[in-house]
Structure 1
Amino acid sequence: MRIKLFRCVSKIIIEDNVVRFEQKLNLITIFLFGIFCFILMKSKKNRILGNISDVKSIESSNSLMSGRLITVTTDKVKYKLDMRSKKSLQEAIDMLEQSELSNKFSSHIPSQAVLENTPIQHSDLGIASFIIAISCITLFLINIVVMLVIRETNYIPDEDILTIWGAILLLCFVGPIVGLILGISGWKEKKSKHIYAILGTLFNCANLLVLLLIIIANSLS
C-alpha cells in the first residue's frame, strides 16, 4: 500500500463520504523552510485543496515522533494528513466524530467535549512543590531540636554526624528553591487546580526567608 504525506493541513471537511482537506502555510513553516516549503507542499500556491474518496478507515494520533496526524486509509493508498497545529487537529477530531464517517473513525485523543467534562485535577508540579515545602519544614524543625539537644547536653558530634547534618542543612536550603520554581510553574498551569501550587510557593518562600534571616543574624553576631 502506498503512503502519501501531506503537511501543513489546516482544515478537514467531510462531504458526501469524501474527505476534503486544505493545506495552508503558516508563518513558522515559511520562516524555517523559505522557498523550500513550497516544494514540501508540492505546490507554489499558499492554499491547496485535496479530496480523498472510497474511505475505509480514519485514525487520529498525536505523538512527538509522528506528529499530529489524521490517517485516512483507502483500498490502495494511506493518506497521512499532518495537521498544522493542535487546534486544527482538535477541530478535525470533533468534526470527524460528528460526521457521516464517524463509524469509520477511531481516535485515542479525547474530544473537546470529553476534555470539558473531565474533572479538573490538581497540578502535579504544585503537589511536588507542597511536598518539598513540608519536607523542608520538617527537616528544619528536626535540625533545631537536634541543635538544642546538643547545646543542652554539651555533646560533641563526630565527623560522620557533622557530614549528615551538613547535608540536611544543604537540603533545607536547596529544597525551597526547587520547590519555589515548581510552585510558580504549577501556578501558571492552565486547567489545573492551583491550591497546592499556591501553598507550596508560599511555604517555600517562608522557608527561604527564615533561612536567610538566620544566616544574616549569624553573620552579624
Structure 2
Amino acid sequence: MEGSFPNRAAAGAALAEALADHARRPDTVVLGLVRGGIPVAVEVANRLGLTLDALVIRKLGVPWAPEVAFGAVGPGGVVVRNEDVAARLEQRDADAVLARESAELVRREVAYRGGRPPLSLRGQVAVLVDDGLATGASARAAVGVARALDATRVVLAVPVGSPRALNALRSLVDELVCPLRPAAFGAVSEFYDDFHQVTDAEVAAALDSADVRPPGTV
C-alpha cells in the first residue's frame, strides 16, 4: 500500500526523522508502549541517541464490556481513572479488575525490565511511542500514567494515526508527532506490510540489546 511501512523498524526510522529536534537530549527518554511500540521505540532511541525504556500499562476494562476502559494501571501502582465510567461500577467489581490487571502488569515488568530499576519519569521529557493510533484508548492511558509519574513534558509519537484519534489526543499532550495521517483509516495493520504480533520474548530481547543507559554514561 502506498504510504505504508515495511515493518515496525522502518516505521521507527521515519518517526525518528520527525523527532529530530529531540536528539541527544539528556533529559529525554523514549518509552515504547508494550508490546507493539517497542520495536518502533528501539529504532527511534538508537537513531536519536536517547535513553530507551518500556512503558507497561494495563487498561482497566468494564467487566461486561472489556473494550470500555474505566481507567489504567501503570508502573509503581499508579492508577488513573475515567471517573465518568468508574462511577457506574460496583467497588468490588472495579477492585477485582484492578487486582487482575495489576498482577499482569507486575508479571510483564519482571519479564521485560530484568534487573533494571523501576521506571521514574521525574524531571524527564517522556516520548511515548506506539506503532499506531486507532481509537487512542491505549495512548490516552499512557499519557495519564506518564503525567502521574511526574514527567515534565509528554510527547506522543506514532508513525501512523487516525485523524479522529489524533484530534482527540492533541490537547492532552505537550507535543504530538505523527508523520502519516491518512484520511481513510481502518486499522493500524493496514499501514504495515509486516504487522505480526510482538511477543514477550521479542520485547525482552529488544530491550536487552538496546542501550538503555542515559547518553554519555559509561
Structure ranking higher in strand proportion: 1
Give the alignment's TM-score, normalised by structure 1: 0.22
Give the alignment's TM-score, normalised by structure 2: 0.23
Structure ranking higher in helix proportion: 1
- 1 or 2 for the larger relative contact order (CA 8 Å, sep ≥6)? 2
